[in-house]
């Protein structure tokens, strides 16, 4: 499998998880019994995880461009 596809997939999954963490921290999604629900710390954690995911996607794009 191509390394750029793997990096892109991992980056997408990490970005989705960061978005879910962020939304749970804002009380938008998730069960109310979750420790992340309505917890302001998880809003920040979600943003950070999402940023890492976007960074991984950018790296995958750069690798793909430089391979050509």
Contact between residue 52 and residue 18 where contact means Cβ atoms under 8 Å apart: yes
Domain range summary for the chain, segments of one domain joined by +: 18-53
> At a CB cut-off of 8 Å and minimum separation 6, what does 45 contact?
18, 21, 22, 25
47-62 pLDDT, tens digit each: 999 999 999 999 999 9
Tokens describing residue 35: 């420790």
pTM, rounded to two decimals: 0.90
pLDDT of amino acid 68: 76
């Amino acid at each position: 499998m191509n390394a750029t596809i793997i990096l892109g997939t991992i980056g997408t999954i990490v970005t989705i998880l960061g978005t879910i963490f962020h939304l749970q921290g804002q009380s938008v999604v998730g069960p109310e019994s979750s420790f992340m629900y309505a917890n302001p710390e998880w809003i920040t954690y979600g943003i950070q995880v999402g940023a890492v995911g976007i960074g991984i996607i950018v790296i995958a794009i750069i690798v793909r461009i430089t391979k050509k």
